Chain A
Amino acid sequence: MDYLPNIIFAVILIAGVGYFARNIKKLIRNIKLGHDVHTSDNKGQRWKNMARIALGQSKMVVRPVAGFLHIIVYVGFVIINIEVLEIIIDGLFGTHRIGLKVLPESVYGFLIGSFEILAVLVLVAVIVFWLRRNITNIKRFKSLKGWPKNDGNIILYFEVVLMCLFLVMNATDTSFQSMNAGNVVSQYISPLFGDNPDTLHLIERTAWWLHIIGILIFLNYLYFSKHLHILLAFPNTYYGKLTPKGQFNNLEAVTNEVKLMMDPNADPFAAPAEDDNADEPAKFGASDVMDLNRIQLLNAYTCTECGRCTSECPANQTGKKLSPRKIMMDTRDRLAEVGKNIDANNGEFKDDGKQLLGDYITKEELWACTTCNACVEACPVSIDPLSIIMEMRRYLVMEESAAPMELNNMMTNIENNGAPWPYNQQDRLNWVNE
């Protein structure tokens, strides 16, 4: 029976990691519902962007207060997780603080000491984050209601609990405390728990188990929350746009048609070429998530709803309905819905009579966009809400002829006389002599 804890630990670990892996597979399947995009170019630049923006947090610090606090939580999260490695080894092999067996006491003490300091800093940062979200008057947080608001807070509570468990676990570990190296913070908490060795051991074991179970629950919570950015920020910044922000893609399907129209030798009655374009999109633009590309869908899963995009959006700042954050949240919600639909129907999507356009994102939102790229610039993890807005405008105009009337007039003018206003093209040079 000595091995019972080891076995229980292994089972919990496998269940936790396994369920997470299963959900990640679903997430990848959902992302692959989007069109394939060419992203094998410029590998050097892409790695550099990932290192600078995701690893280096370069765009977080544009807003210094939030940026600084975020770096603390981020560094804390990454570094304290080294401790998880020890916990897993200890759990599987029944050892206690295996780190002490392989590292000199001074090094081990230094490591744990820095974890403890980071844990306190993370606690402070998380409390400030909670205050910013719930007490202060920051519009981008205040405007969140319901699940998105709770989701944000739940993540903060998780962090508080995990950090406290880590410190309690150290504080009640009598052998660790008696070593007196690395207990820089926990030595001050230690007296709170008295000096009964049995009680201390019980508390230590409980904190240890809750800590690892908490981490596994948190890992699995990610998939259901907005918090996937801690993983997806890396691929997302890697696949981020490399061309100038002003450059919008040219639809290839349109190019083929326009070339055909302008080619005097083209046979207008020719049967369309078969084969190679077989899986070319049947529609122009996007009305649902399947019409978007994989990077746009990855963007949606990566968004952590910080709202920097919306707070920079000129339309939103002037009270219009458009919110780039909502565009991303809607895309994600619809994608999750489609994913559940596929799960429920044996791997096939069954038409549910809903789509991203209309059921989630309204025309009014789409037409309020000035395509100014402020949202794209603001995003700390290279999300491009503008590209989704553009795809949906394309659908509205090219598939539904549903542009606002004034825009239809403008486009008719361009068609007729090569200017957005009804002036004669022959008069283009009149200004010289006016």
Chain B
Amino acid sequence: MKEQLKVPTMAEYMAEGKQPEILFWVGSAGSYDDRAKKITKAFVKLLNNANVDFAVLGAEESNTGDVAKRAGNEFLFQMQAMMNIEVLNAYEIKRIVTCDPHSFNCIKNEYPELGGIYDVIHHTQYIKELIDAGRLSVKGDTYKGKRITFHDPCYLGRANNEFDAPRNVLQNTNATLVEMKKHKRTALCCGAGGAQMFKEPEKGDKDVNVLRTEQALETTPDIIATGCPYCNTMMTDGIKAKEKEDSIIVLDVAELIANDQD
């Protein structure tokens, strides 16, 4: 990125005695994974462009525990959850946005019972909100006429019934949105969910991400749009496996919008 990103922490806000509009939950992938960091930065660029008063937890953020929970380790999940809730509640956080549908689902649905009650939204929902409020504008010429197919993340779509926000946001690019046969409720998983990201797949005749990539290729897209750092990795790997990396790129919705700014 050319311009320096402004990323204030909650500790800094606290020191000034202020509250941000929203807390940006970066998540483990968004913090450490090289590909996901680009998504994080693209989203921050949008937040900066829209003059959003946001903060991150920085080193005070820890893994949500989501992946431990899906792996069956309820102890580790609840330990992580309660530590995070302690921090979030100490800062009196009300609203949280995240680029990771797994963090989104976990904090939104599984933290409340443990004492963490927040208004949690996915970054595609927040980008839509910013555009609708006139705080963020999209040029609409970078991807004009390109074919984009959106791959629904399981934990945003089926798990939380959000199918429209990412598609609505993408429409601002003036690209042609094409749907895979399996989309929205019947979308196929990228293969990374349920802690699969961190292990080798069981024996089978194909990898899930390759099957999903084949479904995406049926739409002859220029771009596969994702809304999840893990889906992004899986689809990128799928495109490589299909030797299509020269003609098709995999980009997060936030990146597509960030590339389409003045």
Instruction: Using CB atoms and an 8 Å cutoff, list the residues of chain A in contact with chain B.
Output: 243-248, 250-251, 254-255, 257-259, 261-262, 284-285, 312, 314-315, 317-322, 364, 367-374, 377-378, 390, 393-398, 403-404, 406-407, 409-411, 414-415, 418-421, 423, 425-432, 434
Of listed B33, B72, B75, B82, residue having the most chain A CB within 10 A: B72
Is B166's CB within 8 Å of the partner chain A? Answer: no
Is B98's CB within 8 Å of the partner chain A? Answer: no
A406 interface neighbour in B198, B204, B210, Cβ under 8 Å? B198
* In the complex with contacts A419-B31, A420-B28, A370-B194 CB distance below 8 A: yes
* In the complex with contacts A372-B154, A374-B189, A421-B32, A431-B40 CB distance below 8 A: yes
The answer to whether A318 and B189 touch across the interface, beta carbons within 8 angstroms, is no
The answer to whether B193 and A250 touch across the interface, beta carbons within 8 angstroms, is no
Kindly supply a per-residue 1/0 record for chain B positions 23-58, scoring 1 wherever the CB is within 8 Å of any chain A CB and 0 otherwise.
000101011110001001100000000000000101
Q: Other CB < 8 Å A-B pairs besides A374-B189, A421-B28, 16 of them?
A: A244-B105, A250-B74, A262-B79, A314-B191, A317-B208, A318-B211, A319-B203, A320-B204, A374-B186, A393-B71, A397-B72, A397-B73, A406-B198, A425-B62, A427-B31, A431-B37
Kindly supply a per-residue 1/0 record for chain B positions 57-76, scoring 1 wherever the CB is within 8 Å of any chain A CB and 0 otherwise.
01101110101111111111
Q: In the assembled complex, which residues on chain B have CB atoms less than 8 Å from the CB atom of A414?
A: 63, 65, 67-68, 76, 80
Q: Residue of A at shortest CB range from B65?
A: A414
Instruction: Using CB atoms and an 8 Å cutoff, list the residues of chain B in contact with chain A.
Output: 5, 7, 9, 26, 28, 30-33, 37, 40-41, 56, 58-59, 61-63, 65, 67-76, 78-80, 82-83, 105, 108-110, 113-114, 154-155, 158-161, 185-186, 188-189, 191-208, 210-212
B79 interface neighbour in A248, A258, A404, Cβ under 8 Å? A258
Q: In the assembled complex, which residues on chain B have CB atoms less than 8 Å from the CB atom of A425?
A: 59, 62
The CA of A411 and the CA of B83, in the complex, are separated in Å by 16
The answer to whether B158 and A367 touch across the interface, beta carbons within 8 angstroms, is no
* In the complex with contacts A246-B160, A394-B74, A428-B58, A317-B211 CB distance below 8 A: yes
The answer to whether B158 and A372 touch across the interface, beta carbons within 8 angstroms, is yes
The answer to whether A314 and B189 touch across the interface, beta carbons within 8 angstroms, is yes
* In the complex with contacts A314-B189, A431-B31, A370-B72 CB distance below 8 A: no
Q: In the assembled complex, which residues on chain A have CB atoms less than 8 Å from the CB atom of B205?
A: 318-319
The CA of A368 and the CA of B160, in the complex, are separated in Å by 22
Q: Residue of B at shortest CB range from A434?
A: B37
The answer to whether B159 and A244 touch across the interface, beta carbons within 8 angstroms, is yes
A393 interface neighbour in B56, B72, B185, B191, Cβ under 8 Å? B72
The CA of A317 and the CA of B211, in the complex, are separated in Å by 9
B70 interface neighbour in A321, A371, A432, A434, Cβ under 8 Å? A371
* In the complex with contacts A258-B78, A394-B72, A420-B63 CB distance below 8 A: yes
The CA of A411 and the CA of B75, in the complex, are separated in Å by 11
| Minimum CB–CB distance for A300 against chain B, Å | 20
| Minimum CB–CB distance for B190 against chain A, Å | 8
The answer to whether A398 and B37 touch across the interface, beta carbons within 8 angstroms, is no
The answer to whether A248 and B158 touch across the interface, beta carbons within 8 angstroms, is no
Of listed A248, A255, A314, residue having the most chain B CB within 10 A: A314
The answer to whether B72 and A244 touch across the interface, beta carbons within 8 angstroms, is no
Q: In the assembled complex, which residues on chain A have CB atoms less than 8 Å from the CB atom of B82?
A: 258-259, 262
The CA of A372 and the CA of B193, in the complex, are separated in Å by 6
| Minimum CB–CB distance for A48 against chain B, Å | 16
8 contacts between A and B (CB under 8 A): A246-B109, A248-B69, A317-B188, A317-B211, A372-B194, A397-B73, A415-B76, A428-B58
Q: In the assembled complex, which residues on chain A have CB atoms less than 8 Å from the CB atom of B202?
A: 315, 320-322, 364, 367-368
* In the complex with contacts A262-B82, A367-B199, A374-B189, A254-B75 CB distance below 8 A: yes
The answer to whether B186 and A377 touch across the interface, beta carbons within 8 angstroms, is yes
The CA of A74 and the CA of B101, in the complex, are separated in Å by 39
The CA of A257 and the CA of B79, in the complex, are separated in Å by 10
* In the complex with contacts A397-B72, A397-B73, A425-B59, A369-B194 CB distance below 8 A: yes
The CA of A319 and the CA of B73, in the complex, are separated in Å by 27
Q: In the assembled complex, which residues on chain A have CB atoms less than 8 Å from the CB atom of B109?
A: 243-244, 246-247
The CA of A423 and the CA of B193, in the complex, are separated in Å by 21
Q: In the assembled complex, which residues on chain B have CB atoms less than 8 Å from the CB atom of A284?
A: 74
The answer to whether A419 and B28 touch across the interface, beta carbons within 8 angstroms, is yes
The answer to whether B198 and A407 touch across the interface, beta carbons within 8 angstroms, is yes
